[in-house]
Structure 1
Amino acid sequence: MSLSLVIPVSGLAWTTSLPTGLHDRLNTMYRIIGGGCYLVTHAPLTGQFDMWVDDDGLATQAPNAPATLLAQRFGHTQRTYHGKAIITGPETPAGFADLTHEQVAHLRDLMGRS
């Protein structure tokens, strides 16, 4: 299991653990994102953080201003993100690297700044 941060449209983010096995991990991500998600898009933010969103979210889910703001904080200004976003550490052969509690606090701080 790997510690990750879920960012809903409301911005009231929470942490969750994702399974290490690919099949279980993807199914858990689909369930967390919701809205009929069956395919996720990988949006690398930095070498430390990756964001995952519904591949069809632009057409099927509400805009996610907090996730879009977070991506912008890391220099990704060319798109908006829709639906719940999941922030993970970088992918490793054993799954995703855990986010530390300090990283989670930093991400929350970045979303809270205007």
Structure 2
Amino acid sequence: MYQTTPNAILLTADGCIVPINLPETAQDRQTVMRSVIRCSTYDCVALTSNLDMWLDDEGLYRHPVNPLATTLARRFGFDWQDYHGPVLITGGADQEGTTLPLHEDRFATLLTSLQSL
């Protein structure tokens, strides 16, 4: 089952900002994450304890630079590389390591911030 309101944000390499509804179960969530990022293996950049950026583990070789994701990462101090391909922004992980969706208030704030970049 899916959430009724968007709880993640997809940043495409061509600059689109796409609200995403992640499924409630962890296994289904991982399937959707791989699908929207267009990869079989992904990596996580923990921007903060409550904000993760997911990207194709082989994106450097398969996708163009994602200027919006790179700018966002730099705002959080990750300025040593460019990020490639589609990127999914979610909440942090829980104590078991399960990816959490963005809380509704965090989603709205982040969406507004991204639209101004």
TM bucket (normalised to shorter chain) is: 0.7 to 0.9
CA RMSD of aligned residues (A): 2.2
Mean Cα deviation higher: 88-97 or 69-78? 88-97
Aligned counterpart, 2:8 = 4
Distance (whole Å) between structure 2 residues aligned to residue 56 and residue 8 of structure 1: 16
The structure with the greater share of residues assigned to strand is 1
Does 2:20 align with 1:16?
Answer: yes
Aligned counterpart, 1:80 = 82
Give the alignment partner of residue 51 of structure 2, picking from 38, 49, 52: 49
Aligned counterpart, 1:108 = 111
Identify unmatched segments of 5+ residues in structure 2: none
Q: CA deviation at 1:20?
A: 3.8
Q: CA deviation at 1:29?
A: 1.1
Mean Cα deviation higher: 93-102 or 59-68? 93-102
Q: CA deviation at 1:52?
A: 0.3
Query: What is the aligned-residue identity percentage?
Result: 30
Mean Cα deviation higher: 91-100 or 80-89? 91-100
The Cα offsets for residues 60-95 of structure 1, whole Å up to 9 and x where unpaired, read as 011100000000001110111111100000112494
Distance (whole Å) between structure 1 residues aligned to residue 90 and residue 8 of structure 2: 5
Aligned counterpart, 1:28 = 32
Q: Is the 8 A contact 1:63 1:81 kept in 2?
A: yes
> Amino acid of the residue matched to residue 28 of structure 1?
V
Q: CA deviation at 1:97?
A: 3.1
> Amino acid of the residue matched to residue 52 of structure 2?
D
Identify unmatched segments of 5+ residues in structure 1: none
Q: Is the 8 A contact 1:7 1:67 kept in 2?
A: yes
* TM-score in terms of structure 2 length: 0.81
Q: Is the 8 A contact 2:90 2:102 kept in 1?
A: yes
Q: Is the 8 A contact 1:41 1:52 kept in 2?
A: yes
Q: Is the 8 A contact 1:21 1:95 kept in 2?
A: no
Give the alignment partner of residue 65 of structure 2, picking from 63, 66, 74: 63
The Cα offsets for residues 15-64 of structure 1, whole Å up to 9 and x where unpaired, read as 11222434322221111112xx1000011001120000000000001110
* TM-score in terms of structure 1 length: 0.83
